[in-house]
Structure 1
Amino acid sequence: MTLTTPALLFPAISLLLLAYTNRFLVLAQLIRKLAQEERDEHLETNTRQILLLRRRISLTKRMQLAGVFSFLLCTLSMFALFLSLELTGMVLFGVSLVTLSVSLIYSLWEIQISTNALNVQLKDVEDQMRSSRPRAGNRGGDT
């Protein structure tokens, strides 16, 4: 294994961390919006969304930590290989790959929760649409 092998992961991990940061920023915006709505009026939907957002924030933190740890291990792997400590470099690179995989698993889990949160929102919109539609027997103008 050469010094360039772990270096190949640098752009991928960097882009992954950028994507995670963007997810975090979107979650922060959603939480602020939800907090404002909750101050204005209490909705059952908000309670469910808050629970899902709390889980998503926790998972986002974990996937960011695992991603940063993977990046650090990859850097240490390159340093070990630079010092001609091939076995240490290979082990560090292997652990870096494992932590990157853990980060991706957390990301998949967060995506699943995000999809569930969207389904909660869609269900509420559908319920509102059903309740606001005129019934078949009720026509406007007929009394």
Structure 2
Amino acid sequence: MTMELSLTTPALLFPALSLLLLAYTNRFLSLSAVIRNLYDRHREKPDPRHLRQLDNLRRRVELIRQMQTAGTLSILLTSVSMTFLFFGLHLAGLIAFGISLVLMCVSLALSVMELAISGDALTILLADLEQISGEDKPKPRRWLRRP
């Protein structure tokens, strides 16, 4: 059984991969802003609660870097695949395209992991707010309370 791959099939990934990399870049930029803000607040008034977030932030930065690397390699291999197909090297084009799909999946899996860690960061902030306010549990919002 032979699989045929046309030149247009890898080209279909370009818009998706470009948007994916744009989303990763936006996540990196917003995380950079959070880190700079935390740095400024800690320099102004040191607080041990700020330090609780460092490990989380380091892991997120590393995951985003890995996501961007896998996504960029995926685009590169998609281009290589198209080049191989253009020159009639179908097997090489198929292999390069398959690897680019795997790299895209790796990038997406890393994105899911980064989202989970991001949720942990919010949990840390909520716990700090609860500790500061002296409450054990946050009160439900007004529209969620039962009459």
* Secondary structure at the counterpart of residue 46 of structure 2: coil
Query: Is 1:16 equivalent to 2:47 in the alignment?
Result: no
Task: Work out the number of aligned pairs and report it.
Answer: 131
What is the aligned partner in structure 2 of residue 63 from structure 1?
A: 67
Say which one has the larger Rg: 1
Distance 1:10 1:18 in 2: 12
Structure 2 alignment gaps of length 5 or more: 136-147
**Aligned partner (choices 72, 82, 92) of residue 78 of structure 1:** 82
**Aligned partner (choices 120, 123, 129) of residue 124 of structure 2:** 120
How much does 1:44 deviate? 2.1
What is the aligned partner in structure 1 of residue 97 from structure 2?
A: 93
What is the aligned partner in structure 2 of residue 137 from structure 1?
A: none
Q: How does 1:39-58 map to 2 (within 5 A)?
A: 39-58=43-62
* Secondary structure at the counterpart of residue 134 of structure 2: helix
- Identical aligned pairs, as a percentage? 50
Q: State the Cα deviation string for residues 79-99 of structure 1 (Å, max 9, x = none).
A: 100111111100000000001
Distance 2:29 2:120 in 1: 19
Distance 1:45 1:67 in 2: 34
With structure 1 as the length reference, what TM-score do the two structures score? 0.89
What is the aligned partner in structure 2 of residue 3 from structure 1?
A: 7
Structure 1 alignment gaps of length 5 or more: 132-143
How much does 1:45 deviate? 1.8
What is the aligned partner in structure 2 of residue 136 from structure 1?
A: none
Alpha carbon RMSD of aligned pairs, Å?
Answer: 0.9
List, as ranges, runs of 4+ consecutive aligned residues in structure 1 with deviation greater than 2 Å: none
How much does 1:130 deviate? 2.4
Distance 1:101 1:56 in 2: 18
Distance 1:121 1:44 in 2: 13
Distance 1:67 1:81 in 2: 21
